[in-house]
Amino acid sequence: MRLPYDQTVTQLPHRARDSHTDALRVRYLGPAIVLLLVAGYALLWLLARPADPVVVMPAPDGDHEGGGTASYIGQFLGAESILLLSISLVLISTLQWVDAWFDGIDRAAIWHRRTAIAGCLLLIPHMLLSHGEVESALSGPLATIGVIGLFGLAVWALLPRWRFFVPSRLRAPIVAVLATAPVRFVDRYVGGYDLWRSLHRLVGIFVAAGFLHGLLVGTMFGGSPLLRWTYVAIGGIGIAFYVYRELLARRLNGLKDYQVEAVRPLADGLTEVELRPLGPPLVFTPGQFALIYIETKEGWRRHPFSIASGAAERNLRFTIKALGDYTERVPDLVERGMPAIVDGPYGRFDRRRGTRRQIWIGAGVGVAPFMSWVRSLEPDVEREVEFFHVYQGPSPFADEIAAAAAEHPDFHPYVIDSTTGDRLTPEQVLAEIDVPCDEVTVFMCGPTPMVQQFETAFRRAGVRRQRIHREHFDWR
């Protein structure tokens, strides 16, 4: 579906250009702080290194040869691991400043995963190199609990993403094994999101076990009070954020009480849930998402969803795709009148941060934040937008998108039914743009492989990296 439009392009207002500088600074602020903390902690351990590490850290057999520097490096890697794991606990606190510094909670969650995996990997050389005098019989058991728990959760989190790590030519045997009856039986009971999330909440306990293990090793800090107290501060901050998230966040985050107003089937495997506020409604920016708690027929369930309603609507609408154990059963588990709690809003997927000329790409259920934008369009859009919506089959939003285009001459939609053989390509998208690529802002939400392919093609074509925005809904 394509609507005719005027190809006249006006110059970008000054305030819009400034927003790109701000967005670029914000996008890299959080990651830069993480990298600086890691590098700064390494420098601290280098400067505080004892003059004679062989004497301070003897080998396990009492012979001073074989300990020393290697053991100091191993213990440094253990401390660096606690720093990374503590950072990972801070990043899942869902605090607003984390959302701002990482340009969205979804990006913060990606860095949470990266720092947690890096912290786990550093434990391997730590265990191989470290030798120290144990001050407590608890040190060994605490280390065992921490390592088993952290590695178990890390592997469990990575297993659903195994295709990203395995070359395509080696995937067929794995798929065959996953299709066998025993594997499917096990997956039915341990592969669900709810079970993984419940156990994932224990990650702070495993980090605390590793942290206490470090304190109980007598030679952990080479006799340096500065290293010891820095370590105490780092681990203490991480554990404090974990306690906040588990015990205080729901009480202090200003949660909103809602009630399920309607559950509507939109298409095969696609459901819309509408929530009615029981008090002041949630104030959000179109494009954001929220954490939704609903007391379903099987008890309270929590899941993050993009807000699909317009900014002027009092009720909240969420478009839910059947992708997991809970979302597949939403039509059966959720009914009108059920209580709900909304935590948010989160995310910085905001079209107002874009230039005068914009490209929107929403594939599948990735159309949800764009529908919030469509439903919030002002009479004067102030942007010229090419909106590409890809869907398997007739889109349930096609009529609403066409109606918005009829009211806004600068809004140009293209609805593509992928089941008819049509396939959207980056070249087709760029062909509709009549200005230099470095003046265009791109917003995308959809399957990760597609979004990565388009991002690579757009950057090669000249679209600036800081003007390509993605909503990382797959982290949820």
pLDDT tens track for 271-296: 999 999 998 899 999 999 998 988 88
Torsion of CA 58, 61, 66, 71, to 10 degrees: -50
Residue that has been written with the tokens 């999330």 in this structure: 197
Secondary structure in 3-state letters for the chain: CECCCCCCCCCCCHHHHHHHHHHHHHHHHHHHHHHHHHHHHHHHHHHCCCCCHHHHCCCCCCCCCCCCHHHHHHHHHHHHHHHHHHHHHHHCCCCHHHHHHCCCHHHHHHHHHHHHHHHHHHHHHHHHHCCCCECCCCHHHHHHHHHHHHHHHHHHHHHHHHHHCCCHHHHHHHHHHHCCHHHHHHHHHHCCHHHHHHHHCCHHHHHHHHHHHHHHECCCCCCCHHHHHHHHHHHHHHHHHHHHHHHHHHHHCCCEEEEEEEEEEEECCEEEEEEEECCCCCCCCCCCEEEEEEEECCEEEEEEEEECCCCCCCCEEEEEECCCCCHHHHHHHCCCCCEEEEEEEECCCCHHHCCCEEEEEEEHHHHHHHHHHHCCCCCCCCCEEEEEEEECCCCCCHHHHHHHHHHCCCEEEEEEEHHHCCCCCHHHHHHCCCCCHHHEEEEEECCHHHHHHHHHHHHHHCCCHHHEEECCHHHC
Is residue 325 within 8 A of residue 194, CB to CB? The reply is yes
Question: How confident is the model over 400-447, as pLDDT tens digits?
Answer: 999 999 999 889 999 999 888 778 999 999 888 888 888 899 999 998
- Tell me, what's the pLDDT at 432? 86
The larger pLDDT score, comparing residue 54 to residue 454, is at 454
Question: How confident is the model over 462-474, as pLDDT tens digits?
Answer: 999 889 998 875 5
- Shortest CA distance to 476 belongs to which of 110, 118, 43? 110
Q: Is the pLDDT of residue 198 over 80?
A: no
Q: Is the pLDDT of residue 3 over 50?
A: no
- List the domains of the chain with CATH numbers: 48-252 (no CATH), 256-346 (2.40.30.10), 351-475 (3.40.50.80)
Q: What tokens does 20 get?
A: 């790109």
How many C-beta atoms lie closer than 10 Å to residue 359's C-beta?
25
Q: Mean pLDDT for the chain?
A: 82
Q: Is the pLDDT of residue 59 over 50?
A: no
- Tell me, what's the pLDDT at 134? 58
- Tell me, what's the pLDDT at 220? 63
Question: How confident is the model over 85-138, as pLDDT tens digits?
Answer: 999 999 988 777 887 788 777 778 888 889 999 999 999 999 988 766 656 678
